[in-house]
Structures are given as structure tokens and as C-alpha cells.
Structure 1
């Protein structure tokens, strides 16, 4: 199996190499990069290209590692016992399988996405060390040992909000998705909007990359936000000439709300445009 990207996902040679290396080594692939650079989409497109199932475990600040294995619903069992439900005699009725359990017991080798692992508590990655390394775990309530017959392809994403433990990093193959160059971005746009005019793409990319280079910008616009902006430009039939007009809305680009997401950045761009006009 060799991943080369898909018709709807442009993967650089380095990213292709990282995915294929992780598959060969049977190690989780840890993907980092700016938000909006396609980390989560990679897992979706990889599963699509392999014609296999995608299991998604989206991590929150309150997520515990145990939830990825299984959860025992003791409250429901107590309630059923009070109601005289015969299901209470089999504790397995109250064991809810987590995403790792589902991945380990899948009939066909699935892709397991552990999305934004850095959102969880600092101990969260350490709590999954053994399970991701050995691909097995013990269910204490039933005495069952769950072991993967075929190791799933594990994609783990991080936005670098916090450092991950060294012991966890040693068990992963790492890749950082660099922000696309103008040429790569043009290829991405062509995949999503094949009918867009090249003149609009050229002017939009110039505005977009100049905006990303503005010093002091609190949040740089991402790939997904550029695609949203282009969609709006086409829907409103905004001409490329309008994008070149520095006096438009006080120096702000049309439909700037797709690219600028806080008032500080809007004010900064307006201030810089005003100084440039002087």
C-alpha cells in the first residue's frame, strides 16, 4: 500500500513519505501543523484511498484515555437492577466499546484518527502508551483481553498547544505539515474550484500571502479560510480588479470576515493600509 494523495487531497512528497513510513513501521503517525492545513482531512482521505473504515476520536479537554478503550455504565446497571431487568446478570451489557476497541476488532484494517491530542490533559498521551504500542488492553470488569488481529493505521493530530511526553513521541513517526507555498496553494484551489479564473486566483493569492506576512497578526488565515473566501468571491462575482483596489473598505479586502477573525487584526490591517496611503 502506497499513499500518493487523492483527487481531492494534494499531498506533498514529504507527507506521502511520512504516511507510507508509518504504515510500514506500524507506528502511529503524529501530524502537526497550523490549524487548517489538512491534518484531519488527511485521515479521511487516507481511509477513502484504501477503501476502508475511518474511526474518529475527537479529543476534548475533558477526554480521558479510558474512554478510547471502553466505559462501564454502572449507573444504568444499578437502575436496571432496581427495575428487575434480567440484563444485569451479564456485566458485558453495560460495557461500551471505545474507538480503540472498535479499531482493534474491525474486520478490515481501519484508519483510526485521534484528533487534536494536545487538547487533553498532559497525562492523556502517557495513559495510551501501552495500548498504542502493544495494540491490546484488558477489560477488568469481564476479564476479557482485547487484542488487535490487524494493527490499525493510526493518525494522531496536534496543534502544538502543549508539549507531548518524550515516551509518547518515541512510539510515533512524526511529520510537520508546512504551510503550502503559492504554487502548492494554487494546486489545492484547482482541486476545489476547477472552474475558477486564473486571474482571480492570482490576485487572491497575492492578497492572502501578503496578509499572512503582516507583522503582529494575531491569527494568520489558514488554507480552509482561503477556500471559504474564494467561494464567497465567486458567489458575489467580485472582480480581480476589486482585490487590487487599496481604497476598498479602508484598505480591507472584500469579505474580509472570512480571513480576519478578531477585531485586533482588522484594526491592524486598517491602520497599515491608512499608513501606506499617506
Structure 2
């Protein structure tokens, strides 16, 4: 079982090595990188390439680790007991399975994505240490132990919003997705827009990397934003000549796809003003 990329996802050699190492070691793969560099999509493409079921757990600031295992709905059970509902007699009727339980119960190996783990509380990764290491957990309400029938391939993504505990990091194989160079980004564009005009792509990517390299830029545009921008350029049939830097207006055409805050817009406006002087 080896991952070698897909037709829809350009994976460099280092990334493929990391994925396959995590599969061999049966360790979670912790993937970091700038937002929009394909961390989440990687998990989907691994599942697609290896023909495995895909299970996604989107982590939010309010997410608790216990929710990934199961939740016991005590309120519903109390209400049913008051109403005389026969469901009350079986506590299993009030256990809601989480994403880890779902992955553990599969007869075949699955890909489990724990997306943006750094959004949750700092204790969230520590609370999953034993479950991800042993691939089992105990259900106190029923007295049963849930053990993975097939150890899932676990992909964990992080945007580096907060540091993860050392004990958690020790249990993971780590890979940082570097921002693609212009040749790799060209290949990604060709995958998403087959048959696109190459003169437009070259002009767009040249302008895109000029923007990313601008000193003082608060938010650099990402890969996904580059794809959105190029899609708009194609839709509006923009002439590649119109993408060149203009002293009167350094903001690129359809800049709303790339520049996402007023501070960076003001930066472009100041540069244009200085250029006119």
C-alpha cells in the first residue's frame, strides 16, 4: 500500500515519502504548511489513490477530544425515562459515535482526517494521545472497549496557530508542505485547467509571485487563491498584457481573489503613489 499521488493532486517526492513512512510506521501523519497549500486535500487524495473510505473530523475552537470518541446524551435518556419510553432501558440508544469510533469500527482500513487540530484547546491533542497510540478507548457507560478492527491511516493538519505538545509530536510522523515554486504551481494549474492558454498562465504566475514577494505584505496569497484568481482571469478572458505591473495602479486585475485585507490594499496604493511621483 503506497501513495504515489493522483492525477488531481501534485505531490512532490518528499511528501510521498512522508505519507508512505507514516503508513509503514502506522503513525499519524502531522502535516503543517501555509493555509491553502493542500493539506486537507492530501487526505482526500490518499483515500482516493488507495481506494479507502474517507472520514473527516473538522476541529473547531469548541471541539473536545471526547466528541471524537463518543458522546452520551444523558438529557434525552432522562426525558425518555419520564415519558416511559422503552428506549430508556438500553443505554446504548443514547451513545452517539464519534469520528474515531467510526474509523475504528470499519472492517476495512480507512483514512481519518483530523483537520486543523491547532484550532482546539491546547489540551485537545494530549487528550487523544492514548487513543491514537493504542487505537482503542473505553466506553464507561457500557463498560466496553472499542478497538480498531483495522488501524486507520490518520492525517492530522495544523496551520501553526498554536504549538502542539511534545508528547503528541513524538507519536506523529511530521511533514511541512513548502509553498510550491513556479514550476510546481504551473503543474498544479495545468491539472485544474487543462488546455489553458500558457501565455496567460505564465503572466499570471509571474505576477502572483511578485505579489507574494512584496515586502510588508500582511497576508501572502495561497495556492488555492492563485487557482481562484486564474479561474477568474480565464472566465473574463483577460489579456496577459493587462497583468503587468502598472505604475498608476499596482493592484492586479480582480485583486479580490488574492488580496484579502485593507492593510495590503493600502500597501499597493502607497506603492502606486510613490511610483507616480
TM-score, structure 1 length as denominator? Answer: 0.98
In 1, Cα distance between equivalents of 2:114 and 2:276: 48
Match of 2:103 in 1: 103
Q: Mind listing any 5+ residue stretches in structure 1 that lack a counterpart? A: none
CA contact (8 A) 1:251 1:274 kept: no
Match of 1:27 in 2: 27
Match of 1:90 in 2: 90
In 2, Cα distance between equivalents of 1:158 and 1:173: 13
Match of 1:198 in 2: 198
Match of 2:256 in 1: 257
1:237 matched to 2:237: yes
Shift of 1:277: 3.8
Q: Mind listing any 5+ residue stretches in structure 2 that lack a counterpart? A: none
CA contact (8 A) 1:182 1:205 kept: yes
Match of 2:118 in 1: 118
Q: For this pair of structures, how many residues does the alignment match?
A: 277
Q: How does 1:129-144 map to 2 (within 5 A)?
A: 129-144=129-144
In 1, Cα distance between equivalents of 2:122 and 2:77: 32
TM-score, structure 2 length as denominator? Answer: 0.98
State the SS of the aligned residue for 2:57: strand
Root mean square deviation of aligned Cα: 0.9
In 2, Cα distance between equivalents of 1:61 and 1:207: 36
CA contact (8 A) 1:68 1:99 kept: yes
In 2, Cα distance between equivalents of 1:9 and 1:104: 27
Shift of 1:247: 4.7
Spell out structure 1 runs of 4+ moving beyond 6 A: none
Q: How does 1:149-164 map to 2 (within 5 A)?
A: 149-164=149-164
In 2, Cα distance between equivalents of 1:158 and 1:245: 35
State the SS of the aligned residue for 1:251: coil
